[in-house]
Chain A
Amino acid sequence: MLIRRLLENDRGGQIVLLVLLALLVVVPLLSLGVSDTSVWHLSTYNVTLLGKYLCYALLALSLDLIWGYCGILSLGHGAFFALGGYCMGMYLMRQIGDRGVYGNPELPDFMVFLNWDHLPWYWHGFDMFWFAMLMVVLVPGLLALVFGWLAFRSRVTGVYLSIITQALTYALLLTFFRNEAGFGGNNGLTDFKDILGFPVQADTTRIGLFIASVLALMLGYLLCRLVVTSRLGRVIVAIRDAESRTRFSGYQVEHFKLWLFVLSAMLAGIAGALFVPQVGIINPGEFSPLNSIELVVWVAVGGRATLFGAIAGAFSVNYAKTWFTSLYPEAWLFALGALFVLVTLFLPKGLVGLAGQRKWRRTPKAALSGLPQQQEYAS
């Protein structure tokens, strides 16, 4: 079977999927099946928190695909996540209907507040779930397509590409902050009522969204695994390690990068769409370059070029963040910075590398060669 083939020789992936399967059973059981007073009861707050981590894990997966495997360090990947989130947010806004503060059946509250008398053209269709879901993948995908086509065609690589991706997300941040853009400006989109007819705040809906997030992460993992274990995956690694060799072997490098970048953006968009109904708000802050940099730290901490490493990194860093920010809120950014520096210096393969170190010690050369490296040899 395909799944079996994909998970062959992938101990980490097997563990990740088993854990996710367990979550799929245990979390709904402990949340809905156990009474509130029991010590085993899982509060809705914790379910939502886990759901949030799952979305981050999917986002980390998408970045690992292009950074870990293809060496494209995107410092603006949060933009695709936020765009997916906004598409979902627009659907949820349209679902409010006349239950808003101003009671306008057509226009969201912030538009009434701005004295707009009709819906902007780009809001049409978002009252339909299928359309919104289509946009969740198409909008980030299209942006990645245009941006990637321009960047890769001009052979922009390395730090220059990272800088322009950062500029991209910053430009979007500024655009979405403007009230005239029609996305709720500073406040973003919030005060959601229901999704597909189910009230967003209800415990059962939260569980439903949690299950959707687990499934999305599992499918996302398998999809990424399909890509990296195929011949395409080997070409991508080849591009990372020796771009010109790959080009002179007859591969159109730009097409491969573009394809992967678009796929990655779409996965990030799906992660964003699942994130928004769980946290109940999407605002321009999601476009902040800082978010994208944090995302890079998750992947680096977990371990680049191992898909399960990205998931492990997203969970561990975000858990640390939740814990840390409740104790020493001001110190978190310093801790994050220190973490990044320490991991880069001492754990170039991340947490996953630490776990696998005993095995690698026998063949140190192989351990090192898992990382992207320049083909610079003094012969």
Chain B
Amino acid sequence: MSMSSVLEKPASLLERARASYPRDRVFEFMQPRPAFDQPVDTRKGPILYVEGVSVSFDGFKALNNLSLYINDGELRCIIGPNGAGKTTMMDVITGKTRPDQGQVYFGQTINLLALQEHEIARGGIGRKFQKPTVLETLSVYDNLELAMASNKGVWSCLLHTLNGEQRDRIAEVLHLIRLTAQARQQAGALSHGQKQWLEIGMLLMQNPRILLVDEPVAGMTGEETERTAELLTSLAGRHAVIVVEHDMAFVRSIARTVTVLHQGSVLAEGSMDKIQNDPKVIEVYLGE
């Protein structure tokens, strides 16, 4: 927020204080809240900026000066051996882990490091966990309803009722993840692959700009894997999709750009062919 715009309409005491003396550089709580109601600023191309991020746990560097840019609507695959920092990177982006150093921006203006998990989720970054995590005791329909982008405050949840538009949206996503027939079934009774899809469906209900998908095809049959590849490819374009996966055949089938992580930083980036012929990558990963 620029100085002049604040001076034009001094709405609150806090804003006036900000305008009179730039204390907000000192005290975090005085920083203007990110304006999620406005479209994310992607004029320069990337929707996610990860710059120089380092995270260490008890001396072990899980991320080491990691820099990564994801373009709006891109489908990006991230691969790397175990312990390369893939999950930690997702934790940093979604607010679960705070990095020791570095910056993470959503669009050009929103600093994700200043936000909590639920704010990041509401703001448009959805995350699928490595283990499929759905709400087992609720029906498939309720799972989607719960994840739906809407006012997620306590009181509005107490009085909430679905409107027609929201029902249509749930039906649409049910169709997309091929669970229309199971809508009233308990999510706990779904097969492993169906749970993975349901979780992806829950992310879609949040209307995210970025989907972080951790190992979407783990434990899936060949046919399910194929359908998941189809689903993720169809989502790219409308959403930026970041897929972390071990299954190289799957990565090959969907990848446009692949990033290889190794020991907490980017080892190589480019098309699948380029990656496969990169001597560094062959040495640490493919060559094993």
Which residues of chain A have a CB within 8 Å of any CB of chain B? 226-227, 230-232, 234-235, 237-238, 241-242, 244-253, 255-256, 259, 365-366, 369-370, 373, 375, 377, 379
Inter-chain CA distance A206–B149, complex, in Å, is 52
CB-CB < 8 A to A375: which residues of B?
A: 131, 133, 136
Known: A230-B158, A250-B206, A255-B153. A369 touches B133 (CB 8 A): no
Known: A375-B133, A377-B131, A379-B131. A247 touches B158 (CB 8 A): no
Known: A237-B138, A245-B134, A253-B118. A379 touches B218 (CB 8 A): yes
Smallest CB separation, B184 vs chain A (Å): 12
Closest to B161 in A: A231
Decide: B136 and A241 in contact? CB cutoff 8 A: yes
Decide: A247 and B186 in contact? CB cutoff 8 A: no
Decide: B127 and A248 in contact? CB cutoff 8 A: yes
Inter-chain CA distance A246–B118, complex, in Å, is 9
From the candidates B118, B136, B159, B192, name the one contacting A250 in the complex (CB within 8 A). Answer: B118
Q: Return 16 A-B CB contacts under 8 Å, by A number.
A: A231-B145, A234-B138, A235-B157, A241-B137, A242-B133, A247-B118, A248-B94, A248-B121, A249-B146, A251-B118, A252-B116, A366-B189, A369-B137, A375-B131, A377-B132, A379-B219
Q: Does B129 contact A (CB under 8 A)?
A: yes
Decide: A249 and B138 in contact? CB cutoff 8 A: no
CB-CB < 8 A to A365: which residues of B?
A: 186, 188-189
What's the count of A-B pairs with C-beta under 8 Å? 101
Inter-chain CA distance A136–B188, complex, in Å, is 41
User: What is the interface residue range for chain B against chain A?
Assistant: 35 or more
Q: Does B160 contact A (CB under 8 A)?
A: yes
Smallest CB separation, A265 vs chain B (Å): 16
A-side interface mostly: helix
Inter-chain CA distance A377–B192, complex, in Å, is 10
Known: A234-B138, A379-B192. A247 touches B117 (CB 8 A): yes
Closest to B195 in A: A377
Inter-chain CA distance A256–B153, complex, in Å, is 8
Query: For window 24-76 of chain B, which residues contact chain A by CB distance below 8 Å?
Result: none
Decide: A234 and B146 in contact? CB cutoff 8 A: yes
Query: For window 235-250 of chain B, which residues contact chain A by CB distance below 8 Å?
Result: none
Inter-chain CA distance A259–B152, complex, in Å, is 14
Decide: A237 and B135 in contact? CB cutoff 8 A: yes
Known: A234-B138, A235-B157. A244 touches B133 (CB 8 A): yes
Q: Does B278 contact A (CB under 8 A)?
A: no
Decide: B154 and A245 in contact? CB cutoff 8 A: no
